Structures are given as C-alpha cells and as structure tokens.
Structure 1
Amino acid sequence: MTRKTASSDWVQHAAQPGRIERIEAYFGGHGYSPHRHDTYAIGLTLAGVQSFQYRRAQRHSLPGTVMVLHPDELHDGEAGTAAGFHYRMAYIEPSLIQQILGGRPLPFIEGGLSADSRIQAALTPLLQNIATRIDLMEEDDALHDLAHALLGAAGERPIRRRPDFVALERARAHIHDSLDSAITIDALAESSGLDRWQLSRDFRALYGTSPYRYLTMRRLDVVRRLMLAGQSINQSALMAGFFDQSHMARHFISTYGAPPARWLKRMRISP
C-alpha cells in the first residue's frame, strides 16, 4: 500500500501553557512505536483511519470516534489507509481527575474507543482548535464534566477499601518537590504516613502508574521543556535528574514512541 512520506507528517502543540497538554497532528503512515505514558490520552480522529495496538488487539478510530487510552497502557499508532490520519489529542494527568473524583479508582474505558455522548460533549472545549485559548474556568468545567462522564461510561468498580487520597497526595507532592535528588520508596512512605506496599498499591489505583514511573515521567517533562528551550539533549537529561543521556533516552522512547532527537524535530515542524 502506497503511503505519504514521513516528510508530510507534523505535530503541533497548543501555544497556551496550561494543565492539559493538547496536540494536533497528521501522519501519513507510521506514527508512533509502542509506548506508554502516565496520563489519559483522550483524542478525536478528524480525518482518515487511526489504527493502533491496544490491550492485545488492533483498534481503528474513524472520524468522530473518541479514543480514551488509560494511563500506562501500551499502544502505538499508524495510518489505517493510504490517506493518513489527522487527529487531536489531550493528555490529562490522573491527578486532575482525582481532584474531582476524590479517591475513586480511575475510570477505565474498555477497548480504548468510545461513542458515549457524555464523553464527547465534555471533550468539546478541550479538543477545539489548538490555536484557541481555553479559559481556566472553562477548563475546570470541562474537566469536571469529563471526570464524571468517564465514571458514568466505565461504571464504578467495587473496592474493599478506598485509598487514602490525602496521604497519597502528600507522596505525590514529595515527588514534585524532589525531582532533582534521589527519592526512595521509603521516603515516600514516610511522607505519606502509609507503609510502602500500601503506598505502591494505592498510588497505582488513583494515578494509574507506580510511584517510580510517575517520578520518571515528571523528569521527562523537565527534559522536554529544557530541550524545547534550546538545551542539548545530554544537558537536559542531567539537569532533570537522570544518570546520563542513554538512561533518559531509554525512558523517553518507551514513553513517547520516538528518540529525543526525532521527537524534537517533530515539535519544530509545522503543517
């Protein structure tokens, strides 16, 4: 099958800084190698067929279909036809959803695709043209509606004991305060007041990933900001708390589906 060359691929980030990372992109063929991130990836296919492997099955998102990829779930992305695919995506941190749900397990949408009208309506402000600024109160409203739409579509799972949301927020704050230094699970347990096993188990339930993975992702956030600001890849890795560039690059590829240099090149290409 003949497909457009990679030179026609592009990714645009919303210029407005905020709590939610928003992108719009086009890929003529291969988009991303298998990777996973610790946010919800919630998007809308605008044109073409967006095909991806997700939870051991091939999925196909058609125009108008909403994708709801759960945190830390492995997935890739490619064009399902020769026409390529065009989409918008919002990356939403589970902590933002937890501020609304207050300690319930994260909603999980089976199969990663949804036609639920509640989710579609809640996403409208977040997936509008990325050149459009979103008012902070509008963003709050959209997040509130989205959290409850996800919960309604997924159904609330029965749990024996609700995690201690306040304690876990203390552990999460400790991670953010200590990105440039060594952090141990024992230090996180002490800051939260939980034992290390309860901390690890409940952290996954509320934030969709392990404490170590969450720490790594926050350091990768720093790497991306530094690289976009003009720092070298090696200096960005060291300043973000990684041992060296290769240590960072392994995590970067598994998270974003591309090496740092290729990711940076994509960020600098406009349609």
Structure 2
Amino acid sequence: MAAVEMTRVENDTRLWTGHATRYGLTLVFAGAFDFWYRRRVSTHGVGLLKLKEPGEVHRDVRVHAPVTAASLAISAAAVEAVAVACGRAKVPHFAVPVTQGGGRAEALALRLHDAVAAGDRFGQESLLVETLAALWEDYGEAPRAERVERSARAVRRVREYLLENWRGEVTLDAMAAAAGRSKFHVLRLFREEYGLAPYEYVTHLRVAQARLLLEAGAPAAQVALNVGFYDQSQLHRHFKRITGTTPARYAKDARAGAGRAAAGAG
C-alpha cells in the first residue's frame, strides 16, 4: 500500500458515511456539504481541508451543491515517520475537523494533491512533511486526555470488543457484558460517541478489510468469508453502498493501478 493514495469524485451528490482506517485530507474544488464528526456538524467547502484520523467516523448529512473533491489517504506509518522527522515525541491530534481556509496548510495540501496526481514521488514525500507540519502547527494539539467517566469507559470497552470480534459473530448481549451496561445504554452511548450504531461500525470494519484483501488479489467469494460476511452477495451489497463501487470493479482498478506503478518503477 502506498504511503499516500488519492480518490476523487466529480459533481457528487451522495451522502457518504465512512470509518477512517488512515489519516485523511479532503480538498473541495467545487460545491459544499455538511458532515457529522466528533459529535458536531461542520461545513466543508472550497478552500478548506477536512481532516480525518484513524478509527473515527465521518457522516455526511447534507449536500449544498454538487461536490468535486479529492481525498488523500495517508498511512499511519507515514504520519508517524513525519512526526519523528519533525522532532515530535507523539503524533499530534487534529483539534478541528475542518480548517479555516486561506492558510499555508491549505496551499501545501493542494500542492501535495498535485504531486500525488502526477506520480511525483520526491515531491510527494517532501510536501507530505511540509503539509503535516503546517497542519500540526496551525490545528494540532496534544492527544486528548482520556476521559474517566463511566460512560466513556463503557463505550471504549464496546469498541475494543468490536475490534477484537468483528470477523465473527457479534452480539448485543456480549457488547452489553463487555461494557457492564444495559443493551439500550450500549446502543445509545456508542452512537453518540462514534456516529454509527455498533452493527454499522462492524460493517465498515469488514469493508475496510475487504478492500485490503481485494487489493492483494484475493477472490471476492473468499474475501466475503474472511471478513465475516455470510456470502459474496452480502459483501457486494455493503461494499457498493459504502465505497460507491463493486468489489469486482474495485479489484480491477487496484490491479490496473498496481500495473501502472510497476511500469513506472521499471
């Protein structure tokens, strides 16, 4: 997997929901939309950067105008390496879900986007360092202090349970037992914290893993079973709903991208 990967949408009016598996920067070139993240709704438009961190959920709630945008997905290893290069003991936490616009970070992110699109590896590596450093300087903060309220501990236990068991059978009884709370409270608290019901969260985890397996060349039927779906048709339905494309098309595009990368390296 590349350190930075880019996806682009043109005149899109769909409402997307996603569980971030990597760090992300999204640039909007046209249009605007509202999204839910960290218990609040924010607006993302032209000239702003939407910021993502692994393990968190973003959910679009309204499209103001058709959106043309590009998202840069950055591996955690790459971000950690940049933090070390910048002399930071820990990877800073983004204090805001969307930037204010008009600053150095936005300009650098646009140049990073151009370097990724052009396949300029040297430019990409250099601009990734500069962009993240600017973002941390303008919008970073130390990692949030862990909350010790009972409800926060309960939600963390549920998430840990889901991260450990998402490939197999997940039950509401087991989640309630892990949290030490009632089923009703588990569902309510989890949705409040992460923006998705637990079963939706598990589906996103499964689709994220399915993408990796498809990129590695695994057949869709086997992928479906490996990530915990009943069969290939269930994988197809959820994969297309979440990613906007089918497993077969995604695998084909991944093979084509790998072929282009190999040809370029040669």
Consecutive unaligned residues of structure 1, counting only runs of 5 or more, are: 1-13, 17-21, 94-98, 102-106, 152-160
Q: For residue 222 of structure 1, what is the amino acid of its counterpart? A: Q
Preserved contact between residue 99 and residue 139 of structure 2 (Cα < 8 Å): no
CA spacing shift, 1:189–1:223, aligned 2, 3 Å: same
Q: Secondary structure at the match of 1:255?
A: helix
Write the deviation string for residues 145-190 of structure 1: whole angstroms up to 9, x where unpaired. Answer: 75659x9xxxxxxxxx967333222211111211221111110111
Is 1:188 the counterpart of 2:175? The answer is yes
Q: Following the alignment from structure 1 to structure 2, what is the Cα–Cα distance between the partners of residues 100 and 177?
A: 26
**RMSD between aligned residues:** 4.8
Preserved contact between residue 227 and residue 233 of structure 1 (Cα < 8 Å): yes
User: 194, 202, 209: which one pairs with 1:222?
Assistant: 209
User: 239, 243, 248: which one pairs with 1:256?
Assistant: 243
Give TM-score scaled by structure 1 length: 0.59
Consecutive unaligned residues of structure 2, counting only runs of 5 or more, are: 36-42, 77-90, 261-266
Taking the TM superposition and a 5 Å limit, the aligned residue runs for 1:32-111 are 33-39=14-20, 42-45=25-28, 49-51=29-31, 54=34, 61-62=45-46, 64-67=47-50, 71-73=58-60, 87-90=70-73
Write the deviation string for residues 211-260 of structure 1: whole angstroms up to 9, x where unpaired. Answer: 11111111112211111111111210111110111112221122111222
Q: How many residues in Structure 1 have an aligned counterpart in Structure 2?
A: 218
Is 1:23 the counterpart of 2:9? The answer is no
Is 1:174 the counterpart of 2:164? The answer is no
Greater helix percent: which structure? 2
Q: Following the alignment from structure 1 to structure 2, what is the Cα–Cα distance between the partners of residues 192 and 92?
A: 30
CA spacing shift, 1:197–1:269, aligned 2, 3 Å: same
Q: For residue 37 of structure 1, what is the amino acid of its counterpart? A: G
Q: Following the alignment from structure 1 to structure 2, what is the Cα–Cα distance between the partners of residues 54 and 68?
A: 14
Q: For residue 115 of structure 1, what is the amino acid of its counterpart? A: G
Sequence identity (%): 23
Q: Secondary structure at the match of 2:6?
A: strand
CA spacing shift, 1:129–1:71, aligned 2, 3 Å: same
CA spacing shift, 1:213–1:121, aligned 2, 3 Å: farther
CA spacing shift, 1:256–1:79, aligned 2, 3 Å: same
Write the deviation string for residues 2-21 of structure 1: whole angstroms up to 9, x where unpaired. Answer: xxxxxxxxxxxx613xxxxx
Q: For residue 231 of structure 1, what is the amino acid of its counterpart? A: A
Q: Following the alignment from structure 1 to structure 2, what is the Cα–Cα distance between the partners of residues 140 and 209?
A: 31
**2:83 paired residue number:** none
Is 1:115 the counterpart of 2:115? The answer is no
**1:236 paired residue number:** 223
Taking the TM superposition and a 5 Å limit, the aligned residue runs for 1:134-213 are 146=139, 148=141, 164-213=151-200
Q: Secondary structure at the match of 1:180?
A: coil
